[in-house]
Amino acid sequence: MATTTRMFCFVLVMVLMGCCCSAKIYKVGDSKGWTTAKHGSYYEWAKRKEFQVGDSLMFEYDGNVNDITQVSTRLEYQFCNYLSPKAVYNTGHDVVTLTEQGYHFFITSNRSQCVAGQKLVVFVVHDHPMIPPPPRKILPFGKDYKVGDSNEWRVPEESDFYSKWSEEKQFHVGDNLLFYYNDQVDDVLEINSDLEFKSCDTTSPVAMHNAGQDLIRLTKPGIRYFITSKIGHCEAGLKLRVVVRPLSKSVPKKMQLSPFDRLIKWLHDSFTPHPHH
């Protein structure tokens, strides 16, 4: 009995260690580190990476002339406002762990360098596989769709590009749209109607997004319309219409265990001794 219990605990610890070890450390800016940069440089660095809860950002820089100022809002990030920081790091070699989903904004308190482009926004999309996800009260986890795939959200070469992209997919309630784009060139406006969509009418948007990395959740069935406010870009084809289908039929309860829960159940069943009759 004691032996099997110890074995079960050992296997469980190894599994949990494996989960934790799946986190990644990203060196910001790669070989250039955290330094004076052209506008958009750190956007380009971040946009092709998928940051997850538990990952870390490693900042390397000259602590005599620079620092890392983490700010709370998009406006503080956009206007290089470092007066009410969420956190400040200044050792020259700092590792910041991403502990929650959502946007994380980093600038330097050297305002001239920040205005020139030394600032970073990352979007944390998921937890790592096998880390139990936080409960969601209303909607289940859906699929993530990166709008435009490798083309991202930008003026397309063919005006019907995003129409074709959308028609090839089936969107359901609970899915997410991920918009990646250059926030100095474009934005994302959600509008109400097919008429506004066809005419590229930007006067009455439902919502406006302009961070360069935006996650929009599909919360109810129906048609969702997205355009850009930039003159001429919508007319050239930078517009997206998606049809959101209702939730699929619920899965039987016996199939609703997460992969992590199923593994724990298997370990328990395999290593727990059963009474002999």
Domain ranges in the chain are 22-123, 142-242
Rounded mean pLDDT of 114-119? 92
C-alpha angle 264-265-271 in degrees, rounded to nearest 5? 90
- On the question of pLDDT at 126 being above 60, the answer is yes
Quote the pLDDT of residue 15.
Answer: 46
CATH class of 22-123: mainly beta
Residues forming a β-bridge with 93: 60
Q: What is the pLDDT of residues 96-106, one digit of tens each?
A: 999 888 899 99
The pTM score is: 0.48
Which CATH architecture best describes the domain 142-242? Sandwich (2.60)
Rounded mean pLDDT of 115-139? 67
Tokens of 104: 């994380």
127: helix, coil or strand? strand
Q: What is the pLDDT of residues 4-57, one digit of tens each?
A: 555 555 445 444 444 444 678 899 999 899 998 888 889 889 887 889 888 999
Residue 49's nearest CA partner among 148, 121, 118 is 121
Rounded mean pLDDT of 137-165? 86
Quote the pLDDT of residue 34.
Answer: 95
> Does 22-123 match 142-242 in CATH topology?
yes
The amino acid sitting at 236 is A
Q: What is the pLDDT of residues 52-91, one digit of tens each?
A: 888 999 999 998 889 999 999 988 998 999 999 999 999 9
Higher pLDDT, 20 or 169: 169
Q: What percent of the chain has pLDDT over 90?
A: 47
Average pLDDT, the chain: 82
What CA dihedral angle connects 190, 194, 197 and 198, to 10 degrees?
180
- On the question of pLDDT at 268 being above 90, the answer is no
Quote the pLDDT of residue 102.
Answer: 87
- On the question of pLDDT at 233 being above 80, the answer is yes
